[in-house]
Amino acid sequence: MAELDPKTATLREVAQAYAKKSGREKTFMGPALQFFKDIADEPGSALRLFEKDAEGNTLLSKTFKGSEDSSTVKTAMQNLRQVGLTLKESVGPDTPEYKLLPDKAPNTDLNNRIFGRSEPAKALSEVAINPDKAKMSQLFAGVAKYLDDPKTRSTAQAIIFNLNTGLRPNAAAGLQVSAYKPDSGAIYIEAETKGAKGRAVNIPLNPIADSILQENLAAGNKENFFVKPNGKVVTSADMTDLLKDVKVKDIAFDASTGRYFDTLAPAGFKGKKGSSLLRNIHATVGQSIGVDQDRLAYLQGRSLKSAGKSSTGELTTYQQAYPGAVGEVDRQNANMFATFWGEAAEEAGFKITSKIPMPETRITTQTAGYEGYFDLPVREEVPTTAKPTVASPAEVNPAALEEMKAKGFDMDKFLEGAKEAFGKLPGPVKKSLGPISIGLTAATAASTVSEVEAATGSSTLAAVAGASEFGPIGYSDVRDIAAGRSEPDQFGTTPASRIAAEEKAGFIDLGRNREPEANPAANQGFIQSQP
C-alpha cells in the first residue's frame, strides 16, 4: 500500500491492492466495483465513497440506504468495508481522512452511518421444501427443459449441478476450472472462494455433476464452467430468474406466513427464495435417501466444527482439505443423489443421459491439449507408448508371464478381454448411474501400461494389460485380489465394488455365457494386427 496515495488512488487500485494481499483476485473485484463502475477509475474515487456531503451523507449511504436484504448487497458492502480499511492503513490516526473510514467490525454506529444501513444478516429460511418424489421429479423436468435452449443451457446446468452437490449457489454458478480435479472426480473450493466461508473443502462429484463439467470442458471453457452465450458468467441471480418459470404445485411452504408456493422464486416474496433454496432441496433429498447429517454437511461444503468436536477439542482444525481427496463413504453418498435424480428424470418420462450425455472419453490432467487447465504442479510428461503389434503370444516376456500366471493372470483371457471398446462406452446409464469410477478407467489403464512395461520390459504385455482395464476384470483387479488387498482406488472404489457397479450400471454387457460383447481390439488402438 506504500505506493498508493489515499487522496488520489482510484477505487479499482485500492480494491486490487486488497484483493492481491488477501489472495482474492478472482472473487473480490466484481462485488467491490459493481455499484460504482462509472467512477472506479477516477483519481481519488476510493476515498470519495467515504466523504460526507453538505448534508453529512456519503456516496455509500446514498447508494445502499433502503436497498434490499440480498446477498448481492451484503457482499458488496463487505468488500467496500475492506476497501475502506485498506485506505485506513495508509493514513495516520490524527488525519481528517482517518475519521471518515470504517471500523473493522460490521454494523458499528460509524459503519451504519457510512453505509446508510447495517449489513444484511444471513438469510434464515422458514421455507420448507416438499419432499414428495413426484414433486422433485416435476421440478427436475421443469429445469431440464431449459437444457434444450442454448440461451439457457448453462444456467440450467448450474442449477442441476447445484442440486447434485449442495454447494452455495454463488460457489456453484461461479465455479472455476481451476477448482476441478478430474483425476479424482472432485472439486476443491479454496477458502477465499466466494461462497466457501473461509474454509477449503473437497466435494465429490457424482456422474451427473461430473458429466456437466466434462461437457463444458470439451466445449472450450477455460476459466469458468458456466458461461452464458454472451460470454458472461452465470450468477445465482440468473438461476433464480430461471426458477421463477418452473412451476410445481405446492413445491414450497413458508412457515412464517402459512403460504404454499408453486415456484421456488415467488414474486413479491421477501424471504429466502430461488437459487438460495437449492441447498435446502439438496438437504431435503439427502435426508429422504438416508445420508447421515454430518456427511451431508460435508457434501455441501459446510463447516464441520460442531460435528468434529471430541473430548480433547475441535478436530477439524487438524483435518485440512488436500486438493481433490475424497473418501469412499462420501463418494457413495454423492452417488445416491445421482440415483435419486436419475430416477426422478425417468419418472418424468425421459432418461437423464438424453439431456446430460456422459462423456465417452473423460478429460483429465493427462489429456493432450489440457495441460495447465487445472493449475496442477508441473509433472514429467508421460512418454507415449507406440501401438504394439502382436504376432503371437510367444513374443511376451516368458518370465514375466510365468510370474503373472502365479497371481492368477490368464493370457488368453486377457487377449479376449482386450477387445473391449476403449473409445466407446455402451448404453445409457441405468437407474443407479453407478459410481464416478464408471468412465474413469482410462486413467487406470494408462497407469497399468506404465506399471507393467516398467516391470516386464514388454510393451506388448503392457498394452494388453492396459486394455484389460476396460473389461469386467482388469489387470489391477487381478493384481489386488492376488495380493489379498481390497483398498479403494484413487476414485474411492474397491475392485469388487467397481466390477459390481459397472455391471449394474450397464457399462458391462454380460450376455450369454457371461462373456462381454466387444468391438475388435484393433479398432480401439491398443492392439494392431500385423498386415
Q: What is the CATH number of the domain that holds 143?
A: 1.10.443.10
Lowest-confidence range among 139-153, 212-226, 240-254, 482-496?
A: 482-496
E strands, 387-508, are: 389-390
Do 300 and 393 lie in one domain? The reply is no
Same domain for 294 and 228? yes
Contact call for residues 53 and 47 (beta carbons, < 8 A)? no
- 349 and 411 belong to one structural domain: no
Higher pLDDT, 438 or 149: 149
Max mean pLDDT range (240-244, 298-302, 417-421): 240-244
Say if residue 57 is in the same domain as residue 21: yes
Asked if residue 426 has pLDDT above 90, the reply is no
Cα separation of 248 and 264, whole Å? 9
Q: Under a CB-based contact definition with an 8 Å cutoff, are residues 420 and 518 in contact?
A: yes
- Supply the pLDDT for residue 198: 53
Residue 6 lies inside a defined structural domain of this protein: no
Kindly state the DSSP code that residue 179 receives in the 8-state scheme. G
pLDDT at 193: 52
d(CA 498, CA 478) in angstroms, rounded, equals 13
Q: At which residue does the C-alpha cell 482517518 appear?
A: 98
Query: Is the alpha carbon torsion for 462, 466, 469, 472 positive or negative?
Result: negative
Q: Are 318 and 309 in contact (CB under 8 A)?
A: no
259 within domain boundaries: no
* Complete DSSP assignment for 96-134: HHHHHSPPSSTT-HHHHHHHSSPPPPPPPP-EEEP--HH
Same domain, 445 and 520: yes
Q: How far is it, in rounded angstroms, from Cα 13 to Cα 9?
A: 6
Q: Are 398 and 331 found together in one domain? A: no
Cell numbers for 42, please give them. 477516477
Q: Mean of the per-residue pLDDT values for the chain?
A: 75
Stretch 380-392: mean pLDDT, rounded? 39
* Domain co-membership, 73 together with 15: yes
47 & 183 share domain? no
Q: Which pLDDT band, with edges at 50, 70 and 90, does 423 fall under?
A: very low
Q: Are strands 180-181 and 389-390 parallel, antiparallel or unpaired?
A: unpaired
Distance in angstroms between the alpha carbons of the first and the last residue of the chain: 71
- The whole-angstrom separation of Cα 334 and Cα 508 is 22
Tens digit of each residue's pLDDT (9 = 90 or more) over 220-263: 998 899 999 999 999 999 999 999 999 999 999 988 788 899 99
How many domains is the chain partitioned into structurally? Answer: 3
Q: What is the dihedral of CA 49, 55, 56, 62, to 10 degrees?
A: -40
Domain assignment of residue 401, yes or no: yes
- Whether residues 206 and 336 share a domain: the answer is yes
More confident residue, 353 or 1: 353
Residue 103 in domain = yes
* φ/ψ of residue 127, rounded to 5: -90, 125
**What's the rounded Cα separation, in Å, for the pair 326 and 351?**
28
And the C-alpha cell for 529? 494386427
Cell of 85: 480499511
Size of the chain, expressed as the number of residues it contains: 531
Of 144 and 480, the structure prediction assigns the larger pLDDT to 144
SS3 164: helix
Whole domain around residue 20: which residue ranges?
A: 11-115
Q: What integer pLDDT is reported at residue 150 of this predicted model?
A: 96
User: Average pLDDT for residues 430-445, to the nearest whole number?
Assistant: 40
Residue 281, C-alpha cell as written in the block: 432441496
- C-alpha 253, offset from chain centre: 29
Query: 423 in a domain, yes or no?
Result: yes
Tell which wins on pLDDT, 384 or 131. 131
Res 187 pLDDT > 80: yes
Question: What is the chain's Cα-based Rg?
Answer: 27
Task: Give the rounded percent of residues in the chain with a pLDDT score beyond 90.
Answer: 43
| Residues whose CB is less than 8 angstroms from the CB of residue 280 and which lie 6 or more positions away in sequence, other chains included | 125, 127, 129, 272
Cut 0.85: pTM above it = no
Whether 507 maps to a domain, the answer reads yes
The dihedrals phi and psi of 386, each to the nearest 5 degrees, come to: -65, 150
If asked whether residues 180 and 289 sit together in one domain, one would say yes
Domain boundary among 86, 115, 144: 115
- What pLDDT band is residue 424 in, cutting at 50, 70 and 90? very low
Residue 138 and residue 96 in one domain: no
Angle at 28 between CA 24 and CA 33, to 5 degrees: 155
Residue 406's contacts (CB-CB under 8 Å, 6 or more residues apart) are none
Region 369-378: mean pLDDT is 64
Inform me whether the pLDDT recorded for 326 exceeds 50.
yes
pLDDT band per the 50, 70, 90 thresholds, residue 404: low
Other CB atoms within a 10 A radius of the CB of residue 402 amount to 10
In a domain, 379, yes or no: no
Is 495:481 a contact under the CB 8 Å cutoff?
Answer: yes
Q: Do 238 and 343 lie in a common domain? A: yes
The DSSP call for residue 407 is: T
Q: What is the DSSP string of 346-377?
A: HHTTS-GGGTSPPPSS---TTSTT-TTTT-PP
Determine, yes or no, domain membership for 121. Answer: no
